[in-house]
Amino acid sequence: MGDKVLLGIKNRARVLVFLILLVGFGSILSRLFYLHIIQGKELSERAVDQQLSDTAVSAKRGSIFDRNGNTLASSASVWKVILAPAYFENDKQREYVSEGLANILGISSSDVLEIAKKTDSYYQTVKRRIESDERDKILDFIDEISDRYERLASVIVLEEDYKRYYPYNDFAAAVIGFTGSDGQGLSGIEYQYDSYLTGTPGRIVTENDGWGTAMPFEYQQKEDAKDGNSLVLTIDETIQHFLEKYLKQGIIDYKVAEGAVAICMDVKTGEILGMAVENSFDLNDPYEIADETARKELEKLSGTQKEERTNELLAKQWRNKAISDSYYPGSVFKVITASAALEENAANLNSTYFCSGSLVPYEGEKEIRCHNTAGHGSQNFAEALCNSCNPAFMMIGQSLGPEKYWEYFQSFGFNSRTGIDLPGEATGLFFSPDGSMGPVDLAIGSFGQGVSVTPIEMVTAVSAVANGGYAVKPYIVKQILDADGNVVETTEPVIKRQVISEKTADTMAQIMEKNAAEGTAKNGYVAGYRIAGKTGTSEKIGQSRKAGQTDYIASYCGFAPADDPQIAVLVYFDTPTGEAYYGSQVAAPVFASIMSEICPYLGIEAQYTEEELEYIDTVAETYLSMGVEEAINAAKADGFEPYVCGEGDKVIAQVPQAGSKIPRGGRIVFYTTSDSTKETVRVPDLVGYTVAQVNEVAAEYNINISFSGSVDLDTVYSYAQSIAPNEIVSPGTVVTVYFGNDDVDDTVM
């Protein structure tokens, strides 16, 4: 009986064990099924991740060129310093390498040592983007390590990386833009075309052992990076240089507080040949505040206040005013009103307008003044534009009507983005979103107040007048090149619509040419070139720097040659704070200086009047080492007036130097002894005189005069000179004197 009981207990135990084993094996099988079938893919990926580490390899960012192939931005080779801590055998080795690297790289040895202690890794970045001098020192240090510790031959590795470099520093800064520390475009073309320039990063795949520790470099696989595309801009480096040079000087001469803009555009294609925004900043150091006054302001601040103000100033200096700032265009906009009125037969060349010095736009409203408070009297359509008469244009605006005004405002491209391929383009503003206008709105809008536009909108609209009546799309990038320099994409000009007829455009070009030669735009005239232009002065409503103070925008927009326009140029100064602030006084002379260089550079043929031929510049020859008599005869034969300093027998120096511009019939001074080269003269005050009077004073002081602007003997006076009065110079020095008239454009209300 007892044996049976014992046997039963044993059987039940066997069954229990069997059941337990069955359940256990079932759980294992279920788990295996779950892991293999359900989670198999995920776990496989995890295993690969544990066995492999993936590191990106930088691609070389594409270059940026001007239209002639000059490099404006490129990526120079720099290097990344990689440490393989797994090679270290003891702390002595770690400390030795860490201290050596720290000394070369100028970083903390304790920071490097912390990296060196990561013994399970063959890939740790110590420092990125080191220059070639540091690279050379590290290569020497690697040799030193190899001699001392053979097993540490591969403990330091240098990987090629890239750093963005801008060879001309602040040149075209607002257009080109810059990149961040990770190589990503942050502004300008660098931002707009970032996806084209960036390229495709490569990869370094490193195999890990069973414990997750990286294997040595021989277990790596490398996939090469694909370099980015390069860009060819429409910008011409030489034209850009002209724009920037004269804007910078204008900011100084006219004490301009809020910067300046100049745009040069091909009127037929929309290509932007130059776009200058001053004050500018260094693309190689974009986070440095460029404005000295602003830097001094920041020195007085601290903490959050300083940080916030710094961010404001950086945003301001990076801002492309040419496309992102809107302003009241002032009298330049009269070109648009006049074009619309002619096209709609609301006015013609025989239309007359009487100006008494002011006009009441409608009964019960206060009068709006003309800049000529005495009035222009009776004037025809062309004279109204050349006089820049506000009352006349209020009448022209009334004859056009609010509906047509709004229609042409849109058709010329205002109130909508031009579509230029730059980031941050803004639009101007109309009186109302739906285009409705009151009587006063129409009155002031007709002469460019109350409606705001951007500089790029304005120059594009005037280009439509210049090119026969077609609104074209402005653009900056001409071509996209692959890494081998092959053209992969070309930008084609885009004509959006015809705004005015060719007949209207030709008529406006003739009137604007007359305005540049005889009217309020005369200070923008360039001798020998058929310039068409219009000045503008506008009030910055609600934007003055101080309460009770009025600030202005001074501008000039024109094109050349008037009979076959090729380029249009807009010059815009924001808040001139000197005595002069009108467009005719501030922007027009700068426009003339720019055009005097661009026109001959582009091969536009000069057509001088007989009067102008007497005053145009020629080039001085060299007379060095000639005997005095020989030099005198040669200079006279070349059409110059020789003047000898010293008692020597040979010419040892001359002023102006060979190759310098000098007026026809100008004086060349020959120095014959070393003592004679020390002779000096004082520059006289040459402002406020006629052409003949300036010549007389110049002869008395033994200096040469280069004439700029109109040389109409009866109506113009000098208003500026290139070398300040009382400056000490050598006899024969050439002083550029600028001639024009004192007429101003539209006045504020």
- Find the helix or strand (DSSP H, E) in which 139 lies: helix 132-148
Nearest-CA neighbor of 357 among 341, 342, 344, 374? 374
Q: Where are the beta strands (DSSP E) in 620-725?
A: 641-645, 653-655, 661-663, 667-671, 681-682, 704-709, 717-721
What is the layout of strands, in order, in the sheet containing 717-721? Answer: 704-709, 734-740, 717-721
Return the structure tokens found at 422: 């730059």
Q: What is the DSSP string of 36-97?
A: IIISHHHHHHHHHHHHEEEEEEPPPPPPEE-TTS-EEEEEEEEEEEEE-GGG--SHHHHHHH
- Find the helix or strand (DSSP H, E) in which 24 lies: helix 2-33
- Find the helix or strand (DSSP H, E) in which 749 lies: none
Whole-angstrom CA distances from 362 to 375, 442, 449 are 19, 11, 17
Instruction: From the candidates 331, 446, 463, 538, give the one annotated as an active-site residue.
Output: 331
Q: What is the DSSP string of 641-659?
A: EEEEESS-SB--EEESPTT
Q: Which residues contact 248 (CB under 8 A, 6 or more apart)?
A: 278
Return the structure tokens found at 386: 């050349």
Between CA 689 and CA 685 the distance in angstroms is: 10
DSSP-H helix ranges across 149-263: 173-176, 188-192, 194-198, 237-253
Q: Where are the beta strands (DSSP E) in 408-483?
A: 470-472, 477-481
Based on the residue annotation, tell me whether 544 is a catalytic residue of this protein: no
- Are residues 166 and 283 in contact, defined by beta-carbon separation less than 8 angstroms? yes
DSSP state of 581: -
DSSP state of 683: P
List residues with catalytic annotation.
331
